[in-house]
Amino acid sequence: MPRGRIEGEKAMLNDYFGRCTCPPLNWRFIIDAPSGEFRSMDCSLTSQSGRHYFLHLHLVGFPTQLPQVYVKYPNPLNNRSGMPLRSPSRSMHVLSPDHEGCTQICHYGPSQWHGNISLVKVVLRAKVWLDAYECHLRTGQDIDTWLNHAH
């Protein structure tokens, strides 16, 4: 990721989440040590219900490539029936898990992605997904009930 872009992303994250009335977002970028490239971002989020989540955003190829977003905590992330959300599911907006079995969530479809989308928007969509996930836990309905594939 170009240095200017990363500085802009940091400023947007600080600006948006610094003014947010929701619980604060804690985040950090991880830098690949000999190349100095930004490889990923970790952040903690609090849902509307007050539950805490820890996300890992894989940023290799960002901004031209869609970042992958994984729920690292809790792991496993279980559905209402108590089964881990690890299998790709269109109705649950879940993609293939990472090597640790952490759930990968769908935040943008590949056809909707473009390089002008900021990490703020990615994190906000992840938060919307988490709130929809909690609706699934309460009702048993698929996440697709609250999200649509054209989002």
Domain annotation covers residue 85: yes
Domain annotation covers residue 41: yes
Task: Give the total number of structural domains in the chain.
Answer: 1
Give the CATH number, domain containing residue 20. 3.10.110
Percent of the chain with pLDDT over 90: 59
Model pTM score: 0.88
The full length of the chain comes to: 151
pLDDT tens-digit profile of 12-32?
888 887 665 555 567 677 766
pLDDT tens-digit profile of 74-106?
999 999 999 999 999 999 999 999 999 999 999
143: left (phi over 0), alpha (psi -120 to 50) or beta: alpha
pLDDT tens-digit profile of 39-80?
888 888 888 888 999 999 998 888 999 999 999 999 999 999
Task: List the domain range (segments joined by +) for residue 22.
Answer: 3-138
Domain annotation covers residue 151: no
